[in-house]
Amino acid sequence: MAIYCAVAALMAVLAVEATAAVKARSVLILPFGAAELGSDEQWVGEGVAQVLMLGLVHTPSLLQVERSRIRPVPASGVWDEQAAQQAGKTLRADLVLFGEVKRAGDELSIQPRYLELRGDRLERVNLDPVAAPAAALPEKLRGLPVAYARSLKIPLTDAEATRMHKAAGATSSARAFEGYVRGRLAAYRGTQEANEAAVDLLARAIELDAQFVAAQFALGVVHQALGNRWKAAAQYRAAAQLDPQFPESYKALGDLFLTAPRRLYDQAVEAYTKALEVRPFYAEAYVGLGDAKAAKGEVDGAVQAYQKALLHNPLNPKVYVSLGKIYYAEKGLYFESVNAYKKAIDLDPGYLDARMGLGEVYEEKGLYPEAIAEYKQVVDQDAKNTGALYNLALVYEKVDVKESIALWERYIQLASPIPSEKDWVDVARLHLRKLKSQLDKEKSN
């Protein structure tokens, strides 16, 4: 009953508070086109985008579309106006920031642009170009986020502009900046080999500038992706010590605490709270705080945190996935759970956690075709998703034993080399033996 009341309260106030909040716009930040540069300089286009992401995160008026959602690269390999417009429409962004980088003699010439999408209307805006020798690139780019904010008529206090300027100028070393950008590019590829390359590049950036907070943090993210939790935590702490006003470090520590085997939920709450003290409109930290409270059984507190996350970012699909989990765990709010997961998928069709959650709800209710459809969507988008393969094999046991056997064999082949999957692989082998035995008996009969 407690959760039902909390959910009812949430649904009742969301519409009111969402309309009362300051209208924020979703912004898609694309790598600047650098096709005219030599191959050794084309990273600069990504570098401009990284500066904008670091700086513009400090205004609640812009909701950045996550970089992971920018999947397909244009056929031309360059984000020109046509490609930028199409990406903006696909991801339902209000604004698309892009531009070009060219060489003009001894200097790089950067032309910042943006598109404002208003239904069928399109507004094109060019900002003043920025010229910089390669050695002065970090210094010249640091003013670009504020320039965009001014052009977009975003009100900034002096303190906000200063913080934005500082964050965008994360390093004064051109070589460290290059290592950071190349490291981020490698990490975006997401493979083991690419992440290992990213570790080397980011570590080199930190060697060149030990005060480079964004690089310290990015190195922690890559270590975490590689499964090196202790190294990740060390990097997050290093970033927090260098800049106590860098909330991403506290939020990332909260995520580590939340997923720790020892159930460090109180520490997670403390870390998320610290992140929110630094950035009160940090929606992702509210999601983490809600997840930590939910793990502690504090349902009302969890829902309140999710409510605040939606207030600051109503386009955040992670909030709806977290709500879906709460509804599902209670087993009495099936429709609310399904609707929450569907809302997350509507906001981000590529958000695999939402499809996994929806599949689990369908499976729990015995809706096997629907569950299979969701798990297949996950596998289609990520063929190496062991969780989806495992669940898919399990569901197929109910409807098609032969297909289940094939899926268990596929899962075992994929998951066997992964140490963290060992126990699950052992269970899968038991299932496989049971099904093969069952099939043999049916044939003999």
Q: What is the pLDDT along the chain (445 residues), one digit of tens a residue?
A: 445 545 554 554 444 344 334 478 999 999 999 988 888 999 999 999 999 999 999 999 999 999 888 876 676 678 899 999 999 998 999 999 999 999 988 899 999 999 999 878 899 999 999 999 988 999 999 999 999 999 999 999 998 999 999 999 999 999 999 999 999 999 999 899 999 999 999 999 999 999 999 999 999 999 999 999 999 999 999 999 999 999 999 999 999 999 998 889 999 999 999 999 999 999 999 999 999 999 998 988 998 999 999 999 998 899 999 899 888 776 568 899 999 999 999 999 889 999 999 999 999 999 999 999 999 999 999 998 999 999 999 999 999 999 999 999 999 999 999 888 999 999 999 999 999 888 878 777 6
Residue with tokens 């909260």: 254
| pTM: predicted TM-score of the whole model, two decimal places | 0.85
Burial 284-297 (b: 16+ CB within 10 A, else e): bbbbbbbbbbbbee
Instruction: Give the three-state DSSP class for 131.
Output: strand
Is residue 221 within 8 Å of 202, Cβ to Cβ? no
Residue with tokens 């690419």: 194
Query: Running DSSP on this structure, what letter comes out for residue 91?
Result: T
Check which CATH number belongs to the domain holding 82 and give it. 3.40.50.10070
Structural domain includes residue 155: yes
Burial 38-53 (b: 16+ CB within 10 A, else e): eeebbbbbbbbbbbbb
Instruction: Give the three-state DSSP class for 81.
Output: helix
Contacts of residue 72, Cβ cutoff 8 Å, sequence gap at least 6: none
Structural domain includes residue 13: no
Phi, psi at 112, each rounded to 5° = -80, 140
* Alpha-carbon gap, residue 272 to 302, rounded angstroms: 13
Structural domain includes residue 423: no
Residue with tokens 């812009």: 62
Structural domain boundaries enclosing 96: 24-169
Of 199, 133, 167, which Cα lies nearest the Cα of 278?
Answer: 167
Of 402, 372, 403, which Cα lies nearest the Cα of 388?
Answer: 372
Structural domain includes residue 127: yes
Burial tier of 156 (Cβ tally within 10 Å: 0-12, 13-18, 19+):
middle
Chain mean position to CA 134: 31
* Alpha-carbon gap, residue 334 to 357, rounded angstroms: 12
Query: Running DSSP on this structure, what letter comes out for residue 337?
Result: H
64 pairs with which residues across the strands? 27
Structural domain includes residue 55: yes
Phi, psi at 296, each rounded to 5° = -85, -5
Structural domain includes residue 188: no
Tally of domains within the chain: 1
* Alpha-carbon gap, residue 232 to 63, rounded angstroms: 26
Residue with tokens 């939606």: 310
Instruction: Give the three-state DSSP class for 68.
Output: helix
* Alpha-carbon gap, residue 48 to 27, rounded angstroms: 15
Q: Tokens for 439?
A: 């099939």
Structural domain includes residue 39: yes
Is residue 322 within 8 Å of 306, Cβ to Cβ? yes
* Alpha-carbon gap, residue 139 to 130, rounded angstroms: 11
Q: Tokens for 137?
A: 């690139």
Structural domain includes residue 131: yes
